Amino acid sequence: MVAQEDFVARRLAMVEQQIERRGIRSARVLDAMRAVKREGFVPSEIRNSAYEDRALSIEEGQTISQPYIVALMVDALELAPTDRVLEIGTGSGYAAAVLCEVAGEVYTIERLEWLAELGHKRLVRNGYESIHTRHGDGTLGWSEQAPFDAISVAACGPEVPPCLAEQLAIGGRLVMPVGKTSRDQHLIRRLRRSQHTFVDEDLGKVRFVPLIPDHT
């Protein structure tokens, strides 16, 4: 069993070697990555691998993203301390916890019911009781809580779901992997300039699990 002090050392090394050295400069994002105990958001049998520089398999055939990708997405959202954020794809709960360290209020949706329950339990166990969790179709967003200052989508689709774009506040940012195949995915940041005007930026190639709506 790894001592807690060793996990702390691994976490600090992860931030320095995997995130800062790759160009993430936001002090608030780096502090959030240092604060969240990644080992608390993975299955017990792979806790020793929590700070490796790669995605890890979790329950229900899903993954917890590479630490750098989590930091990159949070950084791209350009969050203020009062921002309201919607996350699509709770998964392990790790990215929601990082978002909670940076933003004001976090809402997160998971399509797989058992994983939604497990993610909620992990968030509570790690001290993130204030995060709002829901089991449901993430492509539909969370309309009764909209608009959101930022939306993070942790799964890839061929395009940004229209419901999600419409739930962005004016001036809001959405970050999502977009691509028609598993080998052709790009992380896109969509900025909402006005009610009918959106601007997309390509943040580079990535690889995520597919975004699957419940009605397919």
Q: What is the pLDDT of residues 165-203, one digit of tens each?
A: 999 999 999 999 999 887 889 999 999 999 999 999 999
Both tokens of residue 20? 């800062």
Residue 168, burial from CB neighbour count under 10 angstroms (0-12, 13-18, 19+)? buried
% of the chain surpassing 90 pLDDT: 88
> What are the extents of the domains in the chain?
4-206
% of the chain surpassing 70 pLDDT: 97
Please state which CATH class domain 4-206 belongs to.
alpha beta
Query: Which of 151, 142, 188 shows the shortest CA–CA distance to 169?
Result: 151
Segment 70-88 shows an average pLDDT of 98
Q: 65 catalytic, yes or no?
A: yes
Both tokens of residue 52? 């490796």
Both tokens of residue 136? 């449901």
Residue 15, burial from CB neighbour count under 10 angstroms (0-12, 13-18, 19+)? buried
**Which member of 26, 44, 49, 65 is catalytic?**
65
Cα-Cα-Cα-Cα dihedral of 81, 82, 86, 87, to 10°?
10
Task: Give the tens place of pLDDT for each residue, 31-78.
Answer: 999 999 999 999 999 999 999 999 999 998 899 999 999 999 999 999
